[in-house]
Structure 1
């Protein structure tokens, strides 16, 4: 039996090498689906929106079948049932077809297995759902070294990013922010580079926290080479991820594409130190486009290393970040403001303290977290909603941008 013109036995061997040793053996359909997802990390460049649209319309497996079969433009249009996307396919095929080959795709799996990588797909329990906010620009799968379960910590995390040519000031602030956030049970996301990124990872590790590094090239060879030992330590306690398969070198374009993953994974992005043309500004742009909270650390006005941060503060509405508490407020909302509706009660504070700015929580969950009766939680939510302090989001409630009650004064 064959799939994609490759013997199914070869596909199974390839896929098994990128599964955890204790994973249940996949059936034939699961093997084919996982292989197709991995293939779509090989064929397009990271962030290829046409690839994402095609996969959205017909699925990873069918899209790969159409590619392998050499389907005509007319047949693509019929399969996609979307004229606008179909018009983009011919140009996209000219990008994808040169990389279409069984040896290339099977090689990505074999090299991944050789370097103890796991292929993480949307079918896996540890897939970070926040990545899907990238829409058609989201990756088909992720290559992971370390424990994929560490990605769950990104549900409450901050990306600390900045210049490779960091100053002592930038590294000091980064270390303080990372350590303080770890103490508040936040994970730290960064890009593994020299400078601010490396300091963020080191401080997190030293504080006993969870950190995730997102790299621009394949995970068979860590980049930069001078951070190999650091990234091995990240692997031991968290994970290192990439959307590019083994053998793909980091390039300027791939660094820029990688930045969107950092912004999507983290609950908020903080630029600690960055010059006017720093790649961290690109990460900040992705965070803003995704609606993620954005902060920047101010520096001396005479320092070229902080001009990018000042630009974010001046022109893009980034929040001023001076200490870890400011990052927490950026994500969870301010905790000490006067209330818009008559002063704020202890019940209101209890409900707000139990809420998140990002993850909706239902009345029953809030009742458990606050120790209040569900009917009392419902009544408090109604009052808070009037003041804009909370918003209803589908399955639950989140913190709003309105003014929250301040704690009672002694």
Structure 2
């Protein structure tokens, strides 16, 4: 009954509570849950009153969670399951940050992706919600490069850098995982419902919060430890000096993961935290996806087959964007469906590519159609 005991604990104890981590180092989940419910006594241990109060309503809470999980198609995974990312156990051996630490007792998953396999070679790309155009474009490019190299991009599905990282993976038709600070059945932020649904189509949406739980401020900080732990490295793109993204970087540093940062303009306050992390030696400077992959691959990684550095803006575009440019003309606007048919891409791939190309002023809209705005194949 360990799976059900872990589920009970997740409904009674706020995820990331260091007191639960400490108890789990000594007692089994079933013993702790029984003590919370008043059916067992743990030697020399005082159960927090808040847990006991929550435990009194456990049957109803579990019933509601099960109903919401069924309606949303969620599944509950725990240590020992094939989908469980084994690297999460490292969280049981790091010091608390603002009272939070410890491996999750279980995870709720939405989507068809196999989380364990996706995490085997993965990178976290996180950053500012209110990012600049520079940050958005870099996040998309770096994510696309990492995905193209076979690395799963994991982020938080939030506004700004997170969303751009997921979309960069989409450009390469790659799987991606989004880790939420609310229940996995909720779409947060609401305007990212389509993005989160797209993540779940091939990848997976992850949360340690019970179905229906709201995204409270402290839950973003506890969520960050999961992103850092289930990946081999974390890249921060644009973060102010007191940014939640730096919290993820700090977790990665404590866990012994590779910590990386993309520098921004020295005049940009959005990158002040990034620059401080680099200056303090907490992050390695990276500027391309190839550098990220090299950092995470470790010493001795082969670079013999690495392609030469791109010479033009066209060379630096993701493949889908390059193909979309090939399907456009200078004087005759073309519809999305027409472009897709001519270059043999899906309309969704073309729309995503056009969004990127428009941000770079390479294409312009003509009503519901598109045409070239300037050349990308010059130095």
The normalised TM-score by structure 1 is 0.69
Between 299-308 and 103-112, report the one with greater CA deviation.
103-112
- Pick aligned residue for 1:180 from 138, 145, 156: 145
Please list, as runs of the form range in 1=range in 2, the aligned pairs for 1:315-334 lying within 5 A after superposition. 315-334=280-299
> Could you tell me whether the CA contact under 8 Å between 2:127 and 2:237 is conserved in 1?
yes
Question: Counterparts of 2:28 and 2:286 in 1: how far apart (Å)?
Answer: 42
Residue of structure 2 aligned with 1:52, choices 10, 18, 21:
21
SS of alignment partner, residue 137 of structure 1: coil
Distance in 2 between residues matched to 1:208 and 1:56, nearest whole Å: 41
Match of 2:343 in 1: none
Instruction: Name the CA distance, whole Å, in 2 between partners of 1:320 and 1:269.
Output: 12
CA offsets, 1:146-189, max 9 Å, x none? 12514312111110000000111001111111111111100001
Q: Is the 8 A contact 2:237 2:262 kept in 1?
A: yes
Q: How does 1:90-129 map to 2 (within 5 A)?
A: 90=47, 93-100=48-55, 101=57, 102-129=59-86
CA RMSD of aligned residues (A): 1.9
Q: Which one has a larger percent helix, Structure 1 or Structure 2? A: 1
Work out which of the residue numbers 91, 94, 103 in structure 2 matches 1:138.
103
Shift of 1:107: 1.8
Count residues with an aligned counterpart: 295
Q: Which residue does 1:407 correspond to in 2?
A: none
Partner of 1:198: 163
Alignment partner, residue 162 of structure 1: 127
The answer on whether the counterparts of 1:150 and 1:210 sit within 8 Å (CA) in structure 2 is: no
SS in 2 for 1:57: coil
Alpha-carbon shift at residue 334 of structure 1 (Å): 4.7
Secondary structure of 2:34's match? Answer: helix
2:30 corresponds to which residue? 61
Describe the SS at the equivalent of 2:209: coil
Structure 2 unpaired stretches of 5+: 93-100, 306-379
Partner of residue 276 from structure 1, selected from 233, 238, 241: 241
Query: CA deviation digits over 1:119-153, x for unaligned, max 9?
Result: 01113111000111111611100000012514312
Shift of 1:36: 1.1
Asked if structure 2 preserves the Cα contact closer than 8 Å seen for 1:329 and 1:335, the reply is no
Task: Give the conservation status (yes or no) of the 8 Å contact 1:151–1:212.
Answer: no
Q: Is the 8 A contact 1:126 1:148 kept in 2?
A: no
2:11: which partner in 1? Answer: 42
Aligned pair in 2 of structure 1 residues 49, 225: CA closer, same or farther (>3 Å)? same
What are the superposed Cα offsets for residues 77-109 of structure 1, whole Å, 9 maximum, x if unpaired? Answer: 1xxxxx5xx3xx34xx21211211211122212
* Contact 2:235–2:261 under 8 Å retained in 1: yes
CA shift digits 1:231-274 (9 cap, x unpaired): 00000010000000012100110001100000001110000111
**Whole-angstrom distance in 1 between the partners of 2:106 and 2:115:** 16
Q: Structure 2 CA distance, aligned partners of 1:334 and 1:321?
A: 16
Q: Counterpart of 1:238?
A: 203
- Mapped to 1, the partners of 2:88 and 2:181 lie a distance apart of 16
TM-score when scaled to structure 2? Answer: 0.74
> 3-state DSSP class of the match of 1:280?
helix
In the alignment, structure 1 residue 216 sits paired with structure 2 residue 207: no
* Separation of aligned partners in 1, 2:141 and 2:22: 42
Gap regions ≥5 residues in structure 1:
1-31, 78-82, 337-348, 354-410
> Is the contact between residue 295 and residue 321 of structure 1 (CA under 8 Å) also seen in structure 2?
yes
1:261 corresponds to 2:223:
no
Structure 1, 126-135 or 143-152: larger mean CA deviation: 143-152
